[in-house]
Chains A and B, each alone.
Chain A
Amino acid sequence: MESKSKDLWVLCETNEDGTAKNIGVELLNPGRRLADKQGGKLVSVVIGYKTDAAVKDVSTHGADQVIVVDSEEFQRYSTDAYVAALAHLLEKYAPTSMLIGATPNGRDLGPRLSCHLGTGLTADCTALDIDEDSGNIAWTRPAFGGNLMAVILCPDHRPQLGTVRPGVFKKPEAGEDKAEVIREDFHVEACKIRTSLLQVIREEGGEVVDLEGADIIVSGGRGVGGPEGFGVIRDLADALGATVGASRAAVDEGWISHAHQVGQTGKTVGPKLYIACGISGAIQHLAGMSSSDVIVAINKDPEAPIFSVADYGIVGKISEVVPALTAEINKAKA
C-alpha cells in the first residue's frame, strides 16, 4: 500500500462508557515527536460508542486531528468489528504509520490488521525513534523475556505498524483543544462479528482498583505469606495514600483479587514510587512495573531478581520491615 500522507496515527481505545483508555492518551506523547520528525500531522483515531469524552481528551492532549468511528457495535472491543473499521480507515487515508497500545486488545487487533493490509508490525515496543539512515520508524522491543532488545524497521511496506507497551510513556500535558474532528460513518453488520460475549466473570467484591492512575503502589507477592499478610501491605498503602497491587502468584493463591494484579497479564503501571513486598520479580511482573520512577524491593531472599531493578532494596522479613516503615511514615505525619 502506498501512503498518501506523512501523518502518524495513534489508536485511542475507549472504555464502555466512552472515555479514553490511558494508553490512547499516553501514545500522543511519543506520537507527537514522531509526527514532527516525519513532517506530518498527529492523528488520533477514536473508536467506540458515545465517545465525546474520549474525543475531548485526545483533542486537549496534542492531537492535530481526530478521526472518530462512533457506533454501538464498537462499545466493547471485538476483533472483527475493530479490524474492519481500522482497515477501512487505513485504506482510505493511507497514513505512513500507526501506533497501537500493546494492551490485550491491541495485541489481538494489531497482527490481524497488519496481515489484512499485508504490512509489517512490531510488537510490544518500549522505545520509538526515526532511523536516521532511512527515515523509517525504528521500533525497539524486548525479546527473549527481556534479555535482548531488537531494533526493527519496516522499510518497504506502508503503513508501518507497531504496538507500544502501556506505561512506558507519560501522558502529555493537557493544552488547548485545537484538533480538527472528522466523523466517519462506518458500521459493521452484526453477522460479521463472529464472536459473542457470553459472560463476564467478575470476582466477588468486584472492586475497582485504579493502578494505572496511581502515584504510589504498594504490592504484595507470595512472600507476604497469605491473605492476612496483605493486612500490613494495606496499612502501608493507607499511610502513603497508595494503591494496593499484587503479583500473579498472590492472585493465583486467591489472597487478593485479580483487579490488583500488576504484570504481563494484569495492569502495566508506571507510578512515581513502587514498593514490591515479598515479590521475587518474575519477568512477567517486571514487564508490568519496571518503568516506575523509583522502585523499592523488600524481600527475604537476597538473590531475588526484583533486586536487579530496585533503586532501594531491603533484605528482610515483610512482617517486620513493612509495619516498621508504616510506623515511621505515620510518626512523620503526626
Chain B
Amino acid sequence: MTELVNNKVNKALALVLGVSLFAAGCATAPDPADEAAVAAYEEANDPLEPMNRYFFELNRFADIILLRPAAEIYDGVLPRQAKQGVRHFLDNLRAPVILANDVLQGEWNRAETTATRFGINTTVGVLGLDDPATDYGYARHGEDFGQTLAVYGVNEGPYLFLPVLGPAPPRDLTGVVVDQFFDPLTYIFWDDGYTVPVTRFVLNGVDLRARNLEVLDEIERTSVDYYATIRSLYRQSRAEEIANGQTNVEDLPDISNISFE
C-alpha cells in the first residue's frame, strides 16, 4: 500500500510540479494597485487555481462517466442494511489510524473511545460489520494526520486539487501519506498485489459518493461557481473537524460594522 501510495503520490507530485511550473506562468496574479483584487487573491489562497480547476474538471468528467454511475448502481442494488454493513466495516478498518492520531493529539478520552469501539465492533459487531459501540455510548469520530498537524500549528497551505484524490492542500496531502504508515493493512498486505488496499480505496469512494448523490447535485445546482463552492466547503469542514466541535466564536470574522444598503 505504501509503495502504491508512494508511487501514486510521487507521480502526482511530479505531475503537479510539472503542471504548476506551467500554471505559475499562467496564474493571473492581480495588479498590485488593485486593492480589492489583491485581497480577493489572498483570501482565496489558491495560487495554482488554473491548474486546480483543470484537475477539478477532469475529476468531474471521471465522476460523470465512472464514479457516479457506479455509486448509483451500488446505491440502487444493495439493500440498506448491506450498505450500512459496508460502511461500518470500512469505518472499523480505519480505527487504528484514528487511534494513532487521537494519541498524537493527546486526546486521551477520544483515544479510549476509539479503542473501545474497535474492541466492541470487531467482536460483538462481527468483524466490524455492525456498530453496537455507538449504542453503548461510544460514538464514532474521525481523525487523520492532517488534523494532527493542524493541532500542532501547521497551516493548511495553498489550496491544491488533485486528480482522483480531490482537495489535498499540502498539510492534508502529507497527512494522507503519513496515515498509511499507521494503517496495519499497509503491512499485512505489503507484498500482496495491492488487491485489498485498492479494493478498499475504491469501495470507500463508491460508498462515499453513493451517500452524497443528492447532496452534491443540490450543491452544484445552487452554486454560481461549483469549484469555488467545493473549495469553501472543503476548508470549512476541515476547520470544523480539526476543532472537534469546539470552535472559538471569537475567531469568526467581524461583521458588526458592515453597512450595505
Q: Please say whether chains A and B are actual partners in one complex.
A: no
B-contacting residues of A (Cβ < 8 Å)? Answer: none
